[in-house]
Amino acid sequence: MIKLIFAHQREVYIILIKNKEIFYSDRKMLGSVRLIPTDDKLKQRIIMSRNKLPNWLLDFYNLTDKEKEEYNNAQTEEELSKIIIKDCESQGSTLQKKEIT
C-alpha cells in the first residue's frame, strides 16, 4: 500500500494505492472515493453535495483511453505511484509525502 500526500493551492489531498485500486480523499469529501476502477456512487455523492463539491469533478474522474492504457500496463503499485505523481505535478500539485507500507 502506498499513500501519497499532495498539496494544491493550500488544499491537501491524499491518494492511496492498494492492490491496483486508487482511492482519493480530501477534507471536502467525507471518506475516501475509489477512482480506479471508478466508484459507482461517485456521481451521486457529487450531485447530492449541494454544490459543496463542484460539478466539474464529474469530468475530472472520467479517464481517457490513454490513461486507461497506462493503468492497465502498470504492473505494480510503485509504477502506478510514478504515473500519479507525474499527473498531479503536471496539474500544479506538489508531493508532500510518500509512505510505503
pLDDT tens, position by position, 6-51: 998 888 999 999 988 988 888 877 677 777 877 777 778 777 877 7
- Report d(CA 27, CA 30) in Å as an integer: 7
Judge whether 26 and 5 are in contact, CB under 8 Å. no
Q: How many separate domains does the chain show?
A: 1
Give the relative orientation of helices 77-90 and 65-73 as an angle to the nearest 10 degrees.
150
How do strand 2-8 and strand 33-36 relate by DSSP bridges? Answer: unpaired
* Count of beta carbons in the 10 Å neighbourhood of residue 22: 22
Query: Residue 14 has what pLDDT?
Result: 92
What pTM was computed for the model? 0.79
Cell, residue 38: 471508478
Domain of 42 in residue numbering reads as: 2-100
